[in-house]
Amino acid sequence: MKSKKVAIIGASGYSGEVLVQLLLNHPHAELVAVTSRQNAGQTLAQVFPKFASHPKSKSLRFSDPKAELLSKQADVVFLALPHGVAAEYAVPLLNAGCVVIDLSADFRLKSPEIYKDFYAHDHPAPDLLKRAVYGLPEIYRDEIKKSLLIASPGCYPTSILLPVIPLLKAGLVKPAGIIADSLSGVSGAGRKAEVDYLFCECNESVRPYGVPKHRHLSEIEEQLSFAAGAKVTIQFTPHLIPVNRGILTTLYLAPEKPTDAEKISACYKKAYDGEPFVRLLEGKALPDTKNVVGTNVCEIAWRLDPRTGRLIVMSAEDNLVKGASGQAVQSMNILCGWPETAGLV
């Protein structure tokens, strides 16, 4: 299988670090460049002691991010940058013929209007929104194969879309009134020097935030609307919990018929039975982040409540793997024609 050269722009944050780990050990991708303004000049081993045993860790040095140079070094470029910055790099890289896999929110929406509503400024490259494919492989596998610009989904959106899209597509739940209550580990906030994310501020603490209008709502609702064939507005409450990694989402849905247990079961089996990274739990098992952390797997379980007529769906994923870097690698594998599970567990 033909290998490719890959680069990571913005490799010093938490999702950048996981990308480095996955790409250092990938059977077909060769990591040739990592960038970071603040760590420029340092080796991988210096910035991430945990990779110091890897043979490349002492030769590979962080550089300043320069699109022109990177486009000559790499076939595939991952952008692990803050929202708003990614677009600056995507344009020249695409023009130079690179595949771009963006982990930021910059290209996740189709609608520039929704972008403006949630991000409070015009989209910097609205033309690219049409070219970008939303990198959720279980839903857009065929489109990913043919795209050169992948907008890899957010962590919360992944934990919500995977459980809900099949039900909406099958018409088994009502598009109105969906509630997503999510719990995220602290790495979701990024490696930022802010008092709010200090150990003593997060440990022995649980708190909601961004209530009621979190930015991730824009991509969640756009994707759910596509699935439902109608505009979907949901309730979404994120909470910060004292774990490093992991998202647990509990969804409250209204089934079209509260007695449709068999149809729901069949719908999920049809959607995910062959999927390597979606695990439908059976029997009494319920999702637990500790069973997915470090893997690219999203666990899903559901219960129909005969007392309320509601459908409760629960999902668990690693926010930095299936919710970010693992999923981005999964898209790369598809796009490059490699086995979808290459370099992933």
Catalytic residue positions, numbered: 155
Q: Which of 71, 245, 324, 325 binds a second copy (CB under 8 A)?
A: 245
DSSP class of residue 169 equals H
Closest CA to 108 of 181, 161, 36: 161
Under rule CB under 8 A, residue 338 binds a second copy: no
Cβ nearer to a second copy, comparing 97 with 274 = 274
Query: What does the DSSP assignment read for 206-223?
Result: -EE-S-S--TTHHHHHHH
Site size with a second copy, rule: CB under 8 A: 73
> Minimum distance from CB of 127 to a second copy (Å)?
29
Instruction: Report d(CA 161, CA 188) in Å as an integer.
Output: 18
Closest CA to 316 of 329, 302, 328: 302
> Minimum distance from CB of 229 to a second copy (Å)?
20
**Of residues 35-94, those binding a second copy (CB under 8 A):** 49-50, 52-53
Q: Of 83-91, 105-113, 211-219, 323-331, which segment contacts a second copy by CB under 8 A?
A: 211-219
The residues that bridge with 7 in the sheet, in sequence order, are 33, 77
Beta strands 149-151 and 99-102 are: parallel
Q: Which of 33, 103, 183, 300 binds a second copy (CB under 8 A)?
A: 183
Under rule CB under 8 A, residue 111 binds a second copy: no
Helix (H) or strand (E) run with residue 99 in it: strand 99-102
Q: Of 2-10, 146-154, 156-164, 203-211, which segment contacts a second copy by CB under 8 A?
A: 203-211
**Of residues 127-166, those binding a second copy (CB under 8 A):** none
Cβ nearer to a second copy, comparing 73 with 250 = 250
Region at 212 (left for phi over 0; alpha for psi -120 to 50; beta for the rest): alpha
Burial annotation 141-153 (CB, 10 A radius, 16+ → b, else e): eebbeebbbbbbb
Under rule CB under 8 A, residue 113 binds a second copy: no
**Of residues 272-291, those binding a second copy (CB under 8 A):** 276-277, 279, 281, 285-291
Under rule CB under 8 A, residue 195 binds a second copy: yes
> Minimum distance from CB of 142 to a second copy (Å)?
23
Q: Which of 25, 95, 259, 265 binds a second copy (CB under 8 A)?
A: 25
List Cβ neighbours of 229 (8 Å cut-off, separation of 6 or more).
none
Under rule CB under 8 A, residue 209 binds a second copy: yes
List Cβ neighbours of 302 (8 Å cut-off, separation of 6 or more).
163, 264, 268, 311, 312, 313, 314
Q: Of 74-82, 154-162, 163-171, 308-316, which segment contacts a second copy by CB under 8 A?
A: 308-316
> Minimum distance from CB of 258 to a second copy (Å)?
12
Burial annotation 264-281 (CB, 10 A radius, 16+ → b, else e): beebbeebbeebbbbbbb
> Minimum distance from CB of 111 to a second copy (Å)?
16
Closest CA to 220 of 172, 271, 165: 165
